C-alpha cells in the first residue's frame, strides 16, 4: 500500500513539473468545464420534456423512454465532442512540451482542430457505449448495474491512450481504440494497478478539503453569520473546482507521457521511465 501511495505521489509531482513549465495547460480543462456546463444547461429543458430525469428522481416504474435514449445519445455526442476536443488540445500541447518544445494554447487547439473528424467519430463511439451501458444498468436490475460498471471500467482501461493516439497517429477512432488496447497489453499488461494512480492522491486531497470546509461551515453556522457562511461556501466550491482542474490537467499530461513511453520515446526529462512502467501491473497467468 505504501509503495502504491509513493508511486502515485511521484506521478503527481512529475506531472506537476510539466504543468509548472506550461501553466497555460490549465486553460484546456477550464474551457472543457465551461463547455460541459453550457451543453448540460442547453439540454436541461429537453431532458425534462422527454422524461430523462424520471429515473434520476428515483421512480423505477418510469424508465427512460425511446425518445429519452435518443436525446441522451445526442447529449453524449455533443458533450464528449467538447471534452475530447479539449483533451486532445491538452495532450497535444503536453506532447510538444515532452518533446522539448514550447507549446501555446493556440498550438494545442490547432492540433485538436486538425483532428476534429476523428474526435467526432470517437465521441459517437463513446456515446453509443454510454447509452448502452445506461440502458443495461437501468433495465437489468442489480445484475445489469454490476455488468455495466465492469464493462465501463474495462472500456476506460482499453481507451486510456485513445486521445494520445489520435494526436500522434493518422488513424480513425475505431483503429485508435484498437491501438490503445494493443499498446496497454503490449507494454504493461491488461490490469492497471488498483485503477487509482493519481486518483489516490487527489481523492485524499478532496477528503481533507471536505473535512476542513465542513469544520469551517460548522463554525460559521455557530457564529450565525450569513456573510461568513456564504464566503465559506464560495471558497469550498472554488477549491473543489480548482482541485478538479488540476487533476484533469495532470491526467492529460500523464497520458501523453505514457504514450511516449509506450512508443519507446524519451520521457526522462520529466518522468522516470521506471516509474511510468511501474504504474501498470502485467497480467499474471
pLDDT tens string 145-181? 888 888 888 888 888 889 999 999 989 999 999 998 8
Beta carbons within 10 angstroms of residue 100's beta carbon:
8
pLDDT for position 74: 93
280: which strand partners? 192
Q: What average pLDDT does this structure show over 34-62?
A: 71
**Which of 175, 165, 80 is closest to 115 using CA atoms?**
165
SS3 18: helix
Q: Can you tell me the distance from the alpha carbon of 104 to that of 31, in angstroms, rounded to the nearest whole number? A: 15
Q: Can you tell me the distance from the alpha carbon of 95 to that of 269, in angstroms, rounded to the nearest whole number? A: 13
Q: Can you tell me the distance from the alpha carbon of 33 to that of 238, in angstroms, rounded to the nearest whole number? A: 13
How far, in whole angstroms, is CA 254 from its chain's centroid? Answer: 12
Q: Can you tell me the distance from the alpha carbon of 183 to that of 178, in angstroms, rounded to the nearest whole number? A: 9
pLDDT band at 227 (very low <50, low <70, confident <90, very high): confident
How far, in whole angstroms, is CA 82 from its chain's centroid? Answer: 12
What does the pLDDT look like over 93-148, one tens digit per residue?
999 988 888 888 999 999 999 999 999 999 999 999 999 998 888 777 788 888 88
Q: What average pLDDT does this structure show over 24-43?
A: 93
pTM attached to this predicted model: 0.81
How is residue 139 written as a grid cell?
A: 433495465
Q: Are 15 and 253 in contact (CB under 8 A)?
A: yes
Q: Are 223 and 211 in contact (CB under 8 A)?
A: no
Q: What average pLDDT does this structure show over 77-94?
A: 95
Name which residue leads in pLDDT, 85 or 226: 85
Please determine, for residue 56, whether its predicted confidence score (pLDDT) is greater than 60: no
Q: What are phi and psi of 27, to 5 degrees?
A: -65, -35
Domain that holds residue 30: 2-281
Please determine, for residue 33, whether its predicted confidence score (pLDDT) is greater than 80: yes
pLDDT band at 69 (very low <50, low <70, confident <90, very high): confident
Name which residue leads in pLDDT, 71 or 57: 71
For Cα atoms 44, 46, 52, give the angle at the middle one, nearest 5 degrees. Answer: 80
pLDDT for position 279: 59
**What proportion of the chain, given as a percentage, has pLDDT over 90?**
37
pLDDT band at 187 (very low <50, low <70, confident <90, very high): low
SS3 280: strand
* Count of structural domains within the chain: 1
Amino acid at each position: 500500500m505504501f509503495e502504491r501511495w509513493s508511486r502515485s505521489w511521484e506521478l503527481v509531482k512529475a506531472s506537476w513539473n510539466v504543468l509548472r513549465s506550461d501553466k497555460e495547460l490549465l486553460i484546456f480543462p477550464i474551457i472543457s468545464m465551461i463547455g460541459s456546463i453550457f451543453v448540460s444547461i442547453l439540454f436541461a429543458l429537453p431532458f425534462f420534456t422527454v422524461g430523462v430525469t424520471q429515473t434520476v428522481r428515483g421512480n423505477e416504474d418510469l424508465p427512460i423512454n425511446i425518445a429519452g435514449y435518443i436525446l441522451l445519445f445526442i447529449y453524449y455526442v455533443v458533450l464528449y465532442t467538447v471534452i475530447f476536443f479539449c483533451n486532445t488540445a491538452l495532450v497535444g500541447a503536453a506532447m510538444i512540451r515532452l518533446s522539448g518544445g514550447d507549446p501555446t494554447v493556440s498550438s494545442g487547439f490547432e492540433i485538436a482542430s486538425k483532428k476534429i473528424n476523428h474526435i467526432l467519430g470517437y465521441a459517437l463511439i463513446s456515446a453509443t457505449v454510454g447509452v448502452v451501458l445506461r440502458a443495461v444498468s437501468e433495465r437489468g436490475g442489480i445484475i445489469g448495474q454490476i455488468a455495466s460498471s465492469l464493462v465501463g471500467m474495462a472500456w476506460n482501461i482499453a481507451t486510456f491512450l485513445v486521445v494520445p493516439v489520435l494526436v500522434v497517429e493518422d488513424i480513425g477512432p475505431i483503429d485508435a481504440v484498437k491501438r490503445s488496447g494493443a499498446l496497454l497489453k503490449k507494454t504493461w499488461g491488461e490490469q492497471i494497478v488498483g485503477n487509482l494512480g493519481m486518483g489516490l492522491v487527489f481523492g485524499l486531497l478532496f477528503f481533507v478539503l471536505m473535512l476542513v470546509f465542513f469544520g469551517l461551515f460548522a463554525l460559521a453556522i455557530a457564529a450565525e453569520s450569513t456573510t461568513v457562511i456564504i464566503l465559506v461556501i464560495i471558497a469550498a466550491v472554488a477549491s473543489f473546482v480548482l482541485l478538479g482542474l488540476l487533476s484533469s490537467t495532470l491526467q492529460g499530461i500523464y497520458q501523453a507521457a505514457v504514450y511516449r513511453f509506450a512508443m519507446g520515446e524519451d520521457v526522462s526529462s520529466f518522468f522516470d521511465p521506471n516509474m511510468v512502467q511501474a504504474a501498470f501491473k502485467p497480467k499474471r497467468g
